[in-house]
Chains A and B, each alone.
Chain A
Amino acid sequence: GQQLNQSPQSMFIQEGEDVSMNCTSSSIFNTWLWYKQDPGEGPVLLIALYKAGELTSNGRLTAQFGITRKDSFLNISASIPSDVGIYFCAGQLKTGGNKLVFGAGTILRVKS
């Protein structure tokens, strides 16, 4: 089945540093989504990408949809303690009812 390879698995950074994480796949997706999950809660949508090559920002977050439709990255600038959490990429396919395929997640820890 479809798989998303998300990296890095975890990051422990200093407050104020920039963060970058990415997802790749052998499958082509028509939508890429980035979610953040805090402990004991459901994922919250951060950014949705619909067009190949699209670059979208949401505050300190920037994400891009790869030209090949097989990859995406998420950058967080000037990290702050509340950025701590698990970040998931998710690809959406047109076939199979537009279900989401999730990456394994990137655990972000911020040292203040």
Chain B
Amino acid sequence: GAVVSQHPSRVICKSGTSVKIECRSLDFQATTMFWYRQFPKQSLMLMATSNEGSKATYEQGVEKDKFLINHASLTLSTLTVTSAHPEDSSFYICSARRAIDRPQHFGDGTRLSIL
């Protein structure tokens, strides 16, 4: 089946540092990857859509300079949280899909804690 790997699974770092999260599709090429944020006991909130070789499309209210997305290949997208602060602490999840009419498959998420 479709497998999406996300790394790291957990990050704890000091305020002001930048954190990079990787999302890889292991057994398929993903034309599009997505980045979500999830707060405790809430649903997934889409942050941005990442297409290979082009700029990411950010949802309203998401700062593109804060959350840098790079989709350099058909199997890898990265999310960098720049100058992270405690309010950026959250569960970040990526997903990938083979084609526009295929379902999204999710990574296992990254728990980000900013002290």
Give A contacts to B, CB under 8 Å: 31, 33, 35, 40-45, 48, 50, 88, 92, 97-100, 102-105
Complex CA–CA separation, A47 to B63 (angstroms):
33
Contact in complex: B43, A102 (CB < 8 Å): yes
Chain B 91-115 interface 0/1 with A at a Cβ cutoff of 8 Å (1 = within): 0010100001101111111010000
- For the complex formed, measure the closest distance between the CB of A13 and the CB atoms of chain B, giving whole angstroms: 20
Name the residue on A nearest B43 (C-beta): A102
Contact B109 A100 (CB under 8 A): no
**Cβ contacts under 8 Å, B34 to chain A:** 99-100
Enumerate chain B residues within 8 angstroms of A44, measured Cβ to Cβ: 106
Residue from B2, B42, B44, B100 in contact with A43 in the complex, judged by beta carbons closer than 8 Å: B44
Contact check: which of B32, B43, B46, B107 meets A42 at CB < 8 Å?
B107
Contact B43 A88 (CB under 8 A): yes
A42: chain B residues within 8 A (beta carbon): 4, 6, 93, 95, 106-109
Chain B residue, CB-CB nearest to A48 = B103
With CB as the reference atom, state the residue of chain A lying closest to B102. A48
Give chain B residues whose Cβ lies under 8 Å from the Cβ of A88.
43-44
Q: How far is the CB of A42 from chain B (nearest CB, A)?
A: 4
Query: How far, in Å, is B93 (CB) from chain A's closest CB?
Result: 5
Q: Which 3 A-B pairs have the closest CB atoms?
A: A42-B106, A102-B43, A48-B103
- Whether B111 and A98, one on each chain, are in contact in the complex, defined by CB atoms closer than 8 angstroms, is no
Q: A48-B103, A100-B46 are in contact. List 7 more A-B contacts (CB 8 A).
A: A40-B111, A41-B109, A42-B106, A45-B105, A99-B46, A104-B42, A105-B43
